[in-house]
Amino acid sequence: MLEVSVMHTADDPLVDDELWPLYRRVFDDFDDIDRWRDQVWERHATREGFRLALARTDGLIVGFAYGYTGEHGQWWTDHAGKVLHPAVADDWLGGHFELVSIGVDEPARGSGVGRRLMAALTDGLDQPRWLLMTSADPADPARRLYRSTGWAVVGPGLGVDQVIMGRAWPAST
């Protein structure tokens, strides 16, 4: 049975023994855990508003998604500010929820895990604006997942093959 949980901290055994092996299988962009921890995980997991959604089938981790509150002075926010139209950057950047990563183990894809992770990760968020960066290819599975959950392209990404997508909520009255 699929279970999805959301947490605001992750202890070392979870990160080292479950999250990292899954992350590596899905993205394969870091060779060793120490570099990934140092360059990515430790920076992200300590940011304000951090939340991590985990999907498990019969107790085994099959998917994850995480994000935090993006602010000016952070690498991604400052670089996004250089590629977005200034008016878009003014509206969207700073205090936004930044969906950094979502991944589902290959054998578990196509059965609704990604959609469940997205719903759990964003459920009850305070930030009125959410941002992520993804493939510029509209047929990419991730692009289709985002489109089908209410995200829209707000501008180019940091690379030529990327776009920035956003989702906004009207201000409460």
DSSP bridge partners of 56: 3, 61
Which runs of E-coded beta strand occur in 90-161?
96-104, 129-135, 152-156
Of 67, 70, 114, 166, the one binding ligand COA (CB under 6 A) is 114
Q: How far is the CB of 26 from ligand COA (least distance, A)?
A: 5
Output the CA torsion sign for 12, 17, 22, 28: positive
Q: Which distant-in-sequence residues (6+ apart) come within 8 Å of 163 by Cβ?
A: 133, 134, 135, 136, 153, 155, 156, 157
Interface stretch with ligand COA, choices 87-95, 123-131, 144-152, 164-172 (CB under 6 A):
144-152
Please, which residue, 27 or 90, has the CB nearer to ligand COA?
A: 27
Return d(Cα 130, Cα 99) in angstroms, integer. Answer: 7
Q: Does 166 bind ligand COA (CB under 6 A)?
A: no
Q: Does 67 bind ligand COA (CB under 6 A)?
A: no
Of 110, 123, 138, 169, the one binding ligand COA (CB under 6 A) is 110
Of 21, 138, 141, 159, the one binding ligand COA (CB under 6 A) is 141
Tokens of 94: 């700073």
- Interface ranges with ligand COA (CB under 6 A): 26, 102-104, 109-115, 134, 141-142, 144-145, 148
